[in-house]
Amino acid sequence: MTNLLGRKSVPARLSRRNILSYSVTALLATTMIAGSTTSFAANVDLTKWSPEYVKSIAGTAEVDTAAECAKVVPSDYKGRLSYWWVGPTQAQPEIDHKMDAEFWAAWKKAYPNIETDAQSLDYNDMLNKVRTAALGNAAPMVAKFPILWGVEFAAKGQLKELKPEDVGYATDDFWPGAMKSVTYEGKTYGIPTNNETMGFIWNAKIFADAGLDPEKPPATWDDVVKYSKQIKDKLGINGYGLVARQNAGNTPFRFMPQLWAYGGGALDETSEQPTYKTVELNNAGSKAALQAAYDMYVRDKSVPASALTNTQNENQNPFIAGQLAMMIAHPAEYAKMVDLASKATGADKAAADAVVQNMRYGLLPEGPARRAVVFGGSNVHVFAPELVEGGLDVDAARAFICFSTGPEWSTKLAWVGSNPGHLDGFTTKWMKERLDTIKFLDVTTSMLPSGIPFPVIPEQAEIMNIIVPDMLQNALTGKMTVDQAADDAAQKVQELLDGM
Amino acid sequence: MTIHVAHRSGAMPAPNLRRKPNLFQRILLHWNDYTYIAPALIVMLLVIAFPIYYTVELSFFKTPANLSMDKKIFVGLDNYWAILTSKSFWNVTYNTLIWTVFSTFFAFVLGLGAALALNREFLGRGVLRAVLLVPYVISAVAASYVWKWLYHSDFGVIGALSVQFGFTDRPINFLDNIYTALPAIIVVNIWKEFSFAMIMLLAGLQTVPDQLLRAAQVDGANAWQRFWHVTMPHLKGVSMVTILLLLVTNLNSFIIPWIMTGGGPAGATDIWITQIYQMAFGRIRFGMASAYSVILFIVMMLLGYFYVKALTRGDEAKVE
């Protein structure tokens, strides 16, 4: 594996591509030794993070991205860049398309001599396309991946080491959770572009009708169990929107926060320096979380009976119909509910509008151990030179990454559904504009310090999408007891780690 | 029947002393014929033979979770051993057998009933035939989603009706219960497939001679006797083919179980194909999934053998 400053070994025969690679690496080394960095720094205090703090720092700083990045790579640099990412789709709001167009115009203006080949790919196609391209030595120089994808390529040795310092930023400029997601076996292979976490939404009217405080979400996961039962008993409608479908990403995104809150874990991903070698799926915390899910589904029957076949999408309609009181939701869920209400007709529309009016966002409940949520987002990566079609232009890549991951564009490109990866993005005027125009953004943003990324190992897909939902289903269907289900899942993870 | 050949000379024919040309010689002898079919052969080798070869090859390897195929490890028959000795394999095999046998049997029986009904002249026969064909022409994906909502454990129409008519006090939990999920999706599969059996058997019914049926009637045979002793023997061939095709289709079924339950709850609807898919694309264990596929391939080849035998039975009889 190589890093941006050098190689481990020199092959006996030098190809033209190798020579190009060494030249740019040497150039980069010189650049790095010269110590040119941007003047951005993390002007935020993570210990004070709250909805009020987020609002107070927004709009307090000015940035000039082109000028700052020119200190890293001169703006008259002549080169070429290939870049793949999941661009805005027709389903996304107009503002996302506008920001995307503005970004490319600004990039062209800042670096007019870098010839850019940018390919926007469909989310469902991109992973396989990149896998194939990398195997065929036709990978792009730079790619932006959802947070969990990078580890596979890092493990295969297909990524170049890349850390914030390589493009003029500091590691402290990014969320610690985000930096964990780009770290594999102690080395850094990417830079976070945007990060988001989920929030907790509830219907205030249902809460009031059930005799609960309509403006206060459940403070703990034990409260969720209690509230869910109270709502079911008093109103006959489902309390909490449990999701436990097999092989569906929605399930771990909603169950792992509960598991972590009780002190559980798949591995040791909740620790400061995870090693991903200890299985924690059957510790006391994990079993307590599984028991809470069992209590809601089996004992109280206060969650949808269809939870075992539902994804989150199937919870949206009952919620907008006033038949579901609370659930874990994406920051963009409010926009989705507004959209659903706008499409309703007749009496349904009145009911849907009332639900939107009564919709509230809050922090995810705490557990005995912590408040936790899955840390989501995207990262940008650089492919190893030998895998890039036409060779890697390191400086073009650095210029682009500096430009796109800085405070300005990491904020603008994450306008509706996410947040800037660069912490200084929270201090910009654009963040203030977002907070002023996007309802509940301050609340969902406040969950970021509680974010925990899934284990950064290639086996995480099997653990999260198969083993964890299996564990839930085994317990909730009565096929196994809670203890047996947790032990069975832990054994499967251990076997997986042992390479069986 | 045996065929006796009389030789004019009355003597045994002289043995052919010329050796039969081997495969290579025969190819050389007919090189122009092979040239004509070469493009098709090459395409078939690429799109059929190579994937089969690669699947068999992968089944002897352990593939790493990061899909780094150059780092795959040769494990011999370990994948097969691991599969055949795992409890989940036998659970999945049990589900697959239940799914295949029940789907095939009931789709065939319903199809036969519908074919017999539609074989009679009555007003609106054309309309009814078109209506009964609808499940077959509807996309399996769309049908799965429609049935999923019909069965929905909280808001399903069937559950709501059962409560409304007082059969149950709360909606029936069809898909989220380990005991009812498999029967529920088998019903959907039967609904989807019976019209295929109906079309096949309706075609077969056209070959039953009318005069035989009338003769049986004159001889005093009742409706059941006419069906069992006249109609069914004529449907034997087409029934065999229909059943074999249904068996193969059901063993390969993926869409209905995957969309409706994803193999759940707790593996209650996991069948071979969903297990293979999950093994390959969920667990990223291509070696193990390939071994699973090879086992399924062998079963399918056996069924294919019987299918071809059933198809060519008439031809063999003619040769004799």
Contact partners, residue A462, CB within 8 Å, separation at least 6: A496, B65, B282, B283, B284, B285
- Interchain proximity B175–A309, CB inside 8 Å: yes
- A156 CB neighbours in chain B (<8 A) are 66-68
B69/B187 same-domain check? no
User: Residue A20 above 90 pLDDT?
Assistant: no
Residue B172 included in any domain: no
Rank A327-336, B95-104, B116-125 by mean pLDDT and report only the highest. B95-104
pLDDT tens across A112-123, in order? Answer: 999 999 999 987
> What is the distance between the alpha carbons of residues A412 and A92, in angstroms, rounded to a whole number?
14
Q: Which residue has the higher pLDDT, A331 or B176?
A: B176
B162 at A interface, C-beta within 8 A: no
Assess whether pLDDT exceeds 80 at residue B130: yes
Angle made by CA atoms B250, B255, B259, in degrees to the nearest 5: 135
Q: Does one domain contain both B111 and B218? A: yes
Confidence check on the interface: ipTM exceeds 0.85, yes or no:
no
Does residue B226 belong to any structural domain of this protein? yes
* CA distances from residue B148 to A248, B141, B145, B157 in whole angstroms, order as listed: 17, 11, 5, 10
Evaluate whether residue B125 is within a structural domain: yes
Q: Residue B225: inside a domain, yes or no? A: yes
Q: Work out the number of other CB atoms within 10 angstroms of the CB of residue B98.
A: 15
Closest CA–CA distance from residue A343 to any residue of chain B (Å): 20
CB A377 within 8 A of CB A178: yes
Structure tokens at A455: 């284990």
| Per-residue pLDDT, B210 | 87
Closest approach of B178 to chain A, Cα-based (Å)? 7
Residues present in chain A in total: 500
Torsion, Cα A84 A85 A91 A92, to 10 degrees, reads: -130
Angle A358-A362-A366 (CA atoms, 0-180°, nearest 5)?
A: 140
The answer on B101 and B40 residing in a single domain is no
Smallest CA–CA separation between A309 and chain B, in Å?
6
pLDDT of amino acid A331: 78
Beta-carbon separation of B176 and A307 below 8 A: yes
Say whether pLDDT at A491 is over 90: yes
Are B60 and B190 in the same domain?
A: no
Judged against a pLDDT cut of 90, whether residue A241 lies above it is answered with yes
Structural domains of chain A, ranges and CATH numbers in brackets:
16-197+375-452 (3.40.190.10), 199-372+459-497 (3.40.190.10)
Assess contact for A414 and A402: CB atoms under 8 A. no
Radius of gyration of chain A (CA): 24
Report the mean per-residue pLDDT for chain A.
87
B150 strand-pairing partners: none
CB-CB neighbors (< 8 A) of A477 in chain B: 176-178, 265-266, 268
B156 inside domain: no
Measured distance CA(A470)–CA(B120) in Å, rounded: 51
Question: A179: exposed, middle or buried (C-beta count within 10 Å: 0-12, 13-18, 19+)?
Answer: buried
For the ranges A25-29, A459-463, B28-32, the lowest mean pLDDT is seen at A25-29
Of the candidates A393, A391, A421, A389, the residue with the CA atom closest to the CA atom of residue A407:
A421
User: Considering only CA atoms, which of B261, B255, B277, B273 is closest in space to residue B142?
Assistant: B255
- Tell me the mean pLDDT in the region B72-96: 91
- Average pLDDT estimate for A470-474: 95
Establish, for the pair of chains A and B, how many residue pairs have beta carbons separated by less than 8 Å: 93
Please give the radius of gyration of chain B, using alpha carbons only, rounded to the nearest integer. Answer: 26
Please write the tens of the pLDDT for every residue from A199-226. 999 999 999 999 999 999 999 999 999 9
The answer to whether the Cβ–Cβ distance between B67 and A131 falls below 8 Å is: yes
Per residue in A31-76, pLDDT tens?
A: 443 344 454 445 788 888 888 899 999 999 899 999 999 999 999 9
DSSP B138: S
3-state secondary structure A52-92: HHHHHHCCCCCCCHHHHHHCCCCCCCCEEEEEEECCCCCCC
Least confident of A20-24, A78-82, B159-163: A20-24
Count structural domains, chain B. 2
Nearest CA in chain B to A306: B153
Contact B175 A308 (CB under 8 A): yes
Query: Do residues A394 and A32 touch, judged by C-beta distance below 8 A?
Result: no
Whether A458 contacts A81, CB under 8 Å: no
Query: How far is the alpha carbon of B281 from chain A, nearest alpha carbon, in Å?
Result: 9
Spatial CB neighbours of A222, under 8 Å, sequence gap ≥ 6 = A292
CA–CA dist B91, B210 (Å, integer): 49
Give the model's confidence band at A358: pLDDT under 50 very low, under 70 low, under 90 confident, else very high.
very high
| CA end-to-end distance (rounded Å), chain B | 6
Q: In sequence order, which residues have a C-beta less than 8 Å from that of residue A327 and are 6 or more positions away?
A: A200, A201, A240, A241, A254, A312, A315, A319
Residues A482 and A476: their CA atoms lie apart, in Å, by 8
- Closest residue to A308, CB basis, from B66, B148, B264: B264
B168 falls within a domain: no
Residue of A135, A247, A480 to mutate for B, most B C-beta atoms under 10 A: A247
Cα angle: A256, vertex A258, A263; to 5 degrees: 90
- In a domain, residue B150? The reply is no
B207 & B63 share domain: no
Q: Are A371 and A200 in contact (CB under 8 A)?
A: no
* Measured distance CA(A141)–CA(A84) in Å, rounded: 8
Instruction: Give the integer Cα–Cα distance in Å for A152 and B36.
Output: 46
Give the pLDDT score at A317: 86
B136 and B40 part of one domain = no
Spatial CB neighbours of B127, under 8 Å, sequence gap ≥ 6:
none
* pLDDT, tens only, A281-310: 999 999 999 999 999 999 999 999 999 988
The secondary element (H helix, E strand) that includes residue B295 is helix B286-319
My answer on whether B57 and B100 are in the same domain is no
Q: Answer yes or no: do B141 and B211 share one domain.
A: yes
The beta strands (E) that lie in A315-455 are given as: 324-329, 359-362, 373-374, 376-382, 419-420, 451-452
Q: CB contact, 8 Å: B75 with chain A?
A: no
Domain holding B252: CATH number?
Answer: 1.10.3720.10
What is the predicted pLDDT for the residue at A67?
A: 95
Q: B78 and chain A: CB distance < 8 Å anywhere?
A: no
Q: Does B283 touch chain A (CB under 8 A)?
A: yes
Strand order, beta sheet including A191-196: A114-120, A79-85, A142-146, A376-382, A191-196, A419-420
B93 and B62 housed in the same domain: no
What is the structure's pLDDT at A42? 58
Beta carbons within 8 Å of A343's beta carbon, 6+ residues apart: none
User: The tokens of B16 are what?
Assistant: 């052919």
DSSP string, A259-304: HHHTT--SSSTTSSS--S-S--TTSHHHHHHHHHHHIIIIIS--S-
Strand partners, A184: A187
Residues B96 and B194 in one domain: yes
Q: Please check whether residue A68 is in contact with residue A37, taking contact to mean a CB–CB distance below 8 angstroms.
A: no
- Rounded Cα–Cα distance for residues A265 and A255 (Å): 11
User: What domain range is B141 assigned to?
Assistant: 83-145+181-319
CB B57: neighbour CB atoms within 10 A?
Answer: 13
Pairing of strands A199-203, A324-329: antiparallel
Q: In the 8-state DSSP scheme, what is residue A158?
A: -
| Contact in structure between B262 and A472 (CB atoms under 8 Å) | no
Residue-wise DSSP of B29-98: HTHHHHHHHHHHHHHHIIIIIHHHHHHHHHTTEEPPTT--GGG-EE-TTHHHHHHHH-HHHHHHHHHHHH
Q: In A435-453, which positions are buried (b, 16+ CB within 10 angstroms) versus exposed (e)?
A: beebebbbbbbbbbbbbbb
A174: DSSP letter: B
Q: Is residue B58 domain-resident? A: yes
B-chain CB neighbours of A248 within 8 Å are: 262
Q: For residue A96, what are the contacts with CB-CB under 8 A and spacing of at least 6?
A: A88, A415, A416
A39 vs A405 pLDDT, higher one: A405
Most confident of A354-368, A455-469, B153-167: A354-368
Residues B68 and B97 in one domain: no
Instruction: Please tell me whether residues B229 and B107 are part of one structural domain.
Output: yes
Question: Inter-chain contact A306–B154, Cβ cutoff 8 Å?
Answer: yes
Q: Is the CB of B282 inside 8 Å of chain A's CB atoms?
A: yes
Distances (CA, A) of B264 to A485, B181, B211, B249, B269: 15, 8, 53, 21, 6
- pLDDT bracket for residue A499 (50, 70, 90): confident
pLDDT tens track for B273-316: 999 998 888 777 889 999 999 999 998 888 888 877 777 765 55
Q: Could you read off the pLDDT of B228-283 as tens digits, one per residue?
A: 998 999 898 899 889 989 998 999 899 999 999 988 899 999 999 999 998 888 77
